[in-house]
Structure 1
Amino acid sequence: MVFIFKIEVNKMNQNFESNTSNKNSTAMIRGIALGVALSGGIGVALGNLVLGLSIGIPIGIVLGIFFKRKEKKE
């Protein structure tokens, strides 16, 4: 299920990148989306979605910064 969601996020990223010229914002959005997706899964597993999201949004921001740095190197 996570794999399917990841494919959908990748498709959304490709569509979004083709529509926008600013790569930095796509990296941040990709990281935040990935963090929220992971945290949503963790939250459901723990039975508390709010707790999962409160953990996941900061993780998403960190992932977004990581993706932004990775795109700058390429």
Structure 2
Amino acid sequence: TEQYVQQLIAQGYPEETARAYAAQYVGQAAAAEPAAAAPAAASNDLYTQYYNQYYQQFVAQGYDEATAAQYAQQYAAQAQQQQQ
């Protein structure tokens, strides 16, 4: 989990946001919205919007929280890159 946190921090996320994502990634805080963490920069806000959308979509499709979080991260990063 710490490696995942460090990866998110390296991508520019505040530590609190990175830890919220990591907690969700391992299923410890599945009910907590990542957007409830400290406000991020505008580009990270866009990522967060995509992430939440994809995460909820994958969970609704029956994926477990860890898998949904992993897929949501990948799809959100791709969607954000297309917007830049």
Identify the structure with the greater helix proportion: 1
TM tier, shorter chain?
Answer: 0.3 to 0.5
TM-score by length of 1: 0.45
Which one has more relative contact order, counting CA pairs under 8 Å at least 6 apart? Answer: 1
Larger-Rg structure? 1
TM-score by length of 2: 0.41
